[in-house]
Amino acid sequence: MIERPASVIKELVENSIDAGAKRIEVEFRKGGTSLMRIEDDGQGMSRDDASLALERHATSKIRNAEDLDGLLTMGFRGEALPSIASVSRFQLQTRESGSDEGTDILIDGGRMVHTRDCGMPTGTRITVSKLFNTVPARRKFLKSVATESAHIVHCLRLYALAHPEIGFTLIDDGRILFQSPACAALLDRVTEIFGKQIASGLIPLDIEEEGLRLRGLIGKPTLSRSSRHEMLFFVNDRPVENKTLSYALVESYYGHMAKGRFPVAFLFLDIAPELVDVNVHPAKREIRFREEAKTRGFAVRAILQTLREESEALQKLKPVAVKRESPPPSTPRPRLTQSGPTLPKETTRPASPSPKKEAPLSSSPAKAETELPAKPAAPPPPSGQDWNYLGWAQSEFAVFDTPSGVMLLNAGAARQRILYERMLVEFASKSVECQKLLLPQPVEFDPVSAALVEENLSYLQGLGLELAPFGRNFFRIEGVPNWLEEGEAEGFLKEIVALLRQGSLSNESEGVAIEMIAKRAALRGVRPRGEPSSEEIASLVAQLFACEKPLSDPEGRPTLVEFPSSEIDRRFLRKPNRRSHDPFL
């Protein structure tokens, strides 16, 4: 099925692999629409076989019907070459080992031009030019040159990963984009394609069970991505997309990785060909297992076992005793003994962990929320009543004494709510303030993502991210929104690009897109360090109650939790009318 230039590259590279090639060279120009050349050193073809290969449904890979249950070759339908030749100017040059001359066949738009002898080394060279010239309607659906080029690069990288024993070369408009000799191990090929940083965070995996073998590399739990684009699967060395393997991988990392993050993996499943159906999709990208549950269970067990072994290895490297920081001396706490708790020496209320004096806070809500979250939270303080700030607890909670009880404010959740509503307004009006970086940050993308970034530079600038091209697939971050830390810039940019690649950001659903970006912005906003002052807490409360929905953060979690006086009385078995400042009454 020829949809775009990358489809042509895919079919011809698969034929080269089936021919036993040890070296494959791919060259293209103008995103493949002008020229594509695929040359290999495989076994080649005789003149009769070359002519027959251009007939529809002619294939040398299936002799009888039973062969369909044991397919181990990349191609088998016999449709690729005639389909390509019908929509382009197609030249096939080939010579098999032991022959004195090669064969040159030229077809233009499905019409035979000539068949003649030629000088040719052992192997096959196919040149495709003027793609879709005979069907101009098809050309209108092609994307930009950068996007089509990116798809070609991504396609060749997949087959380079699937077959590290084959040397690959990729040339674009005379420039070598990718050149890798035959590699002894998958990790070497991953290092060449994705870089040393990713390769250093991978764990080898190789487990076999009841005729199934799962091998490859999986990322450590600390190596995560915001999308599934680096979860790559190969079944019998064929790049595939399969929900069974994808769900098994994500399920195995549950509890090891934050929600919304995905692992990096290069997984190869070796399975008997009769147990997998590769003929369910026109492009053979999607497959179906005959025993889905068994395959998924095996994959989960294999990945979990590898992660468990990695965790055990790390624990052996840690010291037995870990020194814990002692609590501040100004915070007396009860000490439990066999005879019961030992009270602090002071009989009055313990001092606040902070040496600062209590500061009364007063604010009026801009708008009350009608629907309360699941956890108990208090409504905004009524006008004329105060919240007394008692202190800072557990590194993230502000504690208040209110007329109705004790209130806990999650400062981080409050900041996220404030920043989220601010971002909604700024993103919608494209008025995000950008702060120039003193030292621009270089960032690298895969070819498909790089093409998306180049096409959406103005859109990203509207989000406060100022980018400039810096070589092929490289960009420089020259400016970031004033609410974003420099260290978070690359991560935030890659999250936005992942959403663009998934199609989640579009003009048709602009409101949804703005909400998604604002949530990610709120999670990556500047976080104050250390204990805030009472003035900062007062400002935070005032800003929170000026929000439209102050009682929850962007993910719906509460920002405030109240412990009412009635609940405190019940826990201490105290009658409401016996309340006193004396703790022993």
Digit-coded pLDDT (tens) for 484-516: 778 888 888 888 888 888 776 655 556 666 777
CA 505 from chain center: how many Å?
15
Lowest mean pLDDT: which of 172-181, 277-286, 405-414?
Answer: 277-286
Taking CA atoms, 226 is separated from 48, 495, 551, in Å, by: 52, 6, 27
* Judgement on whether residues 141 and 253 belong to the same structural domain of the protein: no
Cβ(446)–Cβ(156) under 8 Å?
Answer: no
What pLDDT, in 10s, does the model give residues 306-353? 988 887 776 554 444 434 344 444 444 333 333 333 333 333 334 434
* Judgement on whether residues 238 and 174 belong to the same structural domain of the protein: no
Is 365's pLDDT higher than 80?
no
* Judgement on whether residues 172 and 290 belong to the same structural domain of the protein: no
Is 301's pLDDT higher than 90?
yes
3-state DSSP assignment of residue 117 = strand
Higher per-residue confidence, 369 vs 189? 189
* Judgement on whether residues 225 and 118 belong to the same structural domain of the protein: no
Using pLDDT thresholds of 50, 70 and 90, give the confidence band for residue 363: very low
CATH number at residue 245: 3.30.230.10
The widest CA-to-CA distance across the chain, in whole angstroms, is 110
CATH number at residue 50: 3.30.565.10
Domain for residue 231, yes or no?
Answer: yes
Percent share of the chain, pLDDT over 70:
78
CATH number at residue 511: 3.30.1370.100
* Judgement on whether residues 14 and 102 belong to the same structural domain of the protein: yes
Q: Is 418 exposed, middle or buried (0-12, 13-18, 19+ CB in 10 A)?
A: buried
At position 25, the amino acid (one-letter code) is E
* Judgement on whether residues 64 and 100 belong to the same structural domain of the protein: yes
CA 465 from chain center: how many Å?
20
Is 361's pLDDT higher than 70?
no
Using pLDDT thresholds of 50, 70 and 90, give the confidence band for residue 113: very high
Domain for residue 502, yes or no?
Answer: yes
Is 284's pLDDT higher than 80?
no
Lowest mean pLDDT: which of 116-125, 307-316, 445-454, 549-558?
Answer: 307-316
Residue finishing a domain among 182, 214, 230: 182
* Judgement on whether residues 10 and 150 belong to the same structural domain of the protein: yes
Domain for residue 280, yes or no?
Answer: yes
The residues that bridge with 167 in the sheet, in sequence order, are 23
Q: Is 496 exposed, middle or buried (0-12, 13-18, 19+ CB in 10 A)?
A: buried
Using pLDDT thresholds of 50, 70 and 90, give the confidence band for residue 226: confident
Buried b (16+ CB within 10 A) or exposed e, 356-381: eeeeebebebeeebeeebeeebbebb
**Mean pLDDT, residues 209-235 taken together:** 90
Q: How far apart are CA 60 and CA 69, in angstroms?
A: 16
Domain for residue 516, yes or no?
Answer: yes
The residues that bridge with 114 in the sheet, in sequence order, are 106
Mark residue 163 as left, alpha or beta (left: phi above 0; alpha: psi -120 to 50; beta: remaining): beta
What are the structure tokens assigned to 476, written together?
A: 């420089």
Question: What pLDDT does residue 186 have?
Answer: 94
Question: What pLDDT does residue 531 have?
Answer: 84
Cβ(232)–Cβ(246) under 8 Å?
Answer: no
Q: What are phi and psi of 492, to 5 degrees?
A: -65, -40
Number of other CB atoms surrounding residue 99 within 10 Å: 16
DSSP characters over 275-327: GEE--SSTTS-B-EESSHHHHHHHHHHHHHHHHHHHHHHHHHHS-S--PPPPP
Q: What is residue 573's DSSP assignment?
A: T
How many distinct structural domains can be found in the chain? 3
Q: What is residue 480's DSSP assignment?
A: E
CA angle 151, 141, 16 (to 5 degrees): 40
- CB-facing half-sphere around the CA of 469: CA atoms within 13 A: 13
Higher per-residue confidence, 452 vs 1? 452
* Judgement on whether residues 115 and 230 belong to the same structural domain of the protein: no
Question: What pLDDT does residue 459 have?
Answer: 82
CA angle 564, 565, 570 (to 5 degrees): 105
Mark residue 208 as left, alpha or beta (left: phi above 0; alpha: psi -120 to 50; beta: remaining): beta
Percent share of the chain, pLDDT over 90:
30
Q: How far apart are CA 213 and CA 32, in angstroms?
A: 37
> 38-42: long-range contacts (C-beta < 8 A, 24 or more apart)?
38/9, 38/12, 38/13, 38/125, 38/126, 39/123, 39/124, 39/125, 39/126, 40/16, 40/123, 40/124, 40/125, 41/121, 41/122, 41/123, 42/16, 42/123, 42/124
Which structural domain, as residue segments, surrounds residue 285?
194-314
Is 582's pLDDT higher than 60?
no
**Mean pLDDT, residues 281-308 taken together:** 87
**Mean pLDDT, residues 357-369 taken together:** 38
Lowest mean pLDDT: which of 143-147, 223-227, 337-341, 414-418?
Answer: 337-341
Domain for residue 356, yes or no?
Answer: no
* Judgement on whether residues 214 and 115 belong to the same structural domain of the protein: no
Domain for residue 361, yes or no?
Answer: no
Q: What are phi and psi of 185, to 5 degrees?
A: -140, 155
Closest among 335, 194, 182, 320 to 265, alpha carbons compared:
194
* Judgement on whether residues 176 and 199 belong to the same structural domain of the protein: no
Residue finishing a domain among 134, 161, 182: 182
Cβ(521)–Cβ(484) under 8 Å?
Answer: yes
**Mean pLDDT, residues 549-559 taken together:** 80
Closest among 62, 104, 112, 47 to 85, alpha carbons compared:
112
Domain for residue 395, yes or no?
Answer: no
Is 232's pLDDT higher than 90?
yes
Average pLDDT over the chain reads 79
* Judgement on whether residues 10 and 146 belong to the same structural domain of the protein: yes
Closest among 30, 86, 28, 33 to 56, alpha carbons compared:
86
Is 92's pLDDT higher than 90?
yes
Rg for the chain (alpha carbons), in Å? 32
Closest among 199, 189, 170 to 234, alpha carbons compared:
189
Domain for residue 534, yes or no?
Answer: no
Cβ(269)–Cβ(302) under 8 Å?
Answer: no
Question: What pLDDT does residue 77 have?
Answer: 61
Residue finishing a domain among 182, 207, 234: 182
Cβ(233)–Cβ(269) under 8 Å?
Answer: yes
3-state DSSP assignment of residue 215 = strand
- Residues sharing a CB contact under 8 Å with residue 193, sequence separation 6 or more, in sequence order: 157, 160, 161, 178, 180
What pLDDT, in 10s, does the model give residues 375-425? 344 444 443 347 888 888 888 889 998 888 898 998 888 888 888 888 788
Q: How far apart are CA 432 and CA 359, in angstroms?
A: 34
Question: What pLDDT does residue 299 have?
Answer: 94
* Judgement on whether residues 69 and 170 belong to the same structural domain of the protein: yes
